[in-house]
Amino acid sequence: ETGVTQSPTHLIKTRGQQVTLRCSSQSGHNTVSWYQQALGQGPQFIFQYYREEENGRGNFPPRFSGLQFPNYSSELNVNALELDDSALYLCASSFSRAVYGYTFGSGTRLTVV
Amino acid sequence: QQQVKQSPQSLIVQKGGIPIINCAYENTAFDYFPWYQQFPGKGPALLIAIRPDVSEKKEGRFTISFNKSAKQFSLHIMDSQPGDSATYFCAANFGNEKLTFGTGTRLTIIP
């Protein structure tokens, strides 16, 4: 199967709750990067996972955490949700940490109420 | 500070016209400059990219112009079509790991 798949597509959570978003990498890709895209803004880098280890992190608090699995799929976990966490969360897969090979998924739209 | 500034915020062009979107960056270490196209409900898709050793790159109807001394680059869309209506993002990178994106330009091509 080709392409990056994200689930769920939409999610509504209450402030203070926890959420887990999932990403299935494109075939042959071993790196997953997560981005947050607020409404009307460009994507902001959250972190990257390569070989199941966090390889880099943007300016996001520790309540944003992730995992990468041996099959290169990934999860983004957000604890203690805040209203400002409402955004489109994008996953991008690539090969060997490269950004020029990025393939983005369609994202998960998270709404925190 | 790693920033990429993009303008205009929105752009309306008649079919067949040439929309131009501009970006400026601060970090001279950036060495990869892609443009992404995003349709509503979809993730960004790579359109075209350039490295700083080249002043211009064309792929089909899309052209990037790059001015290293001014730290600016721009996207031109030739013979624009209504199907080009989307949000366009410039971005920049050095050393892999992450892309730094501009704030986006919402382009509308009217028939």
pLDDT at A27: 86
Chain A residue with CA closest to B44: the answer is: A104
Cα–Cα distance between A70 and A94 in angstroms, integer? 15
pLDDT at A19: 98
Cα–Cα distance between A23 and B35 in angstroms, integer? 23
Cα–Cα distance between B45 and A75 in angstroms, integer? 21
Cα–Cα distance between B33 and B27 in angstroms, integer? 12
- A89: tokens are 């969360």
More confident residue, A101 or A93: A93
Q: Where are the alpha helices (DSSP H) in B30-90?
A: none
Cα–Cα distance between A102 and B106 in angstroms, integer? 22
Determine phi and psi for B46, rounding to 5 degrees.
-65, 130
* Each residue's pLDDT tens digit, B37-93: 999 989 999 999 999 999 999 999 999 999 999 999 999 999 999 999 999 999 999
pLDDT at A98: 82
pLDDT at B2: 58
pLDDT at A96: 85
- B80: tokens are 């624009």
* Each residue's pLDDT tens digit, A40-73: 999 999 999 998 999 999 999 999 999 999 988 9
Cα–Cα distance between B74 and B86 in angstroms, integer? 16
Q: What single-letter DSSP state applies at residue B83?
A: G
pLDDT at B95: 81
- Contact yes or no for B43 and A44 at CB 8 A: no
Determine phi and psi for B79, rounding to 5 degrees.
45, 55
Determine phi and psi for A78, rounding to 5 degrees.
-125, 120
- Contact yes or no for B44 and A44 at CB 8 A: no
Contacts of A36 in chain B (CB under 8 A): none
**Residues A22-41, mean pLDDT to the nearest whole number:** 93
Single-letter amino acid, residue A83: L
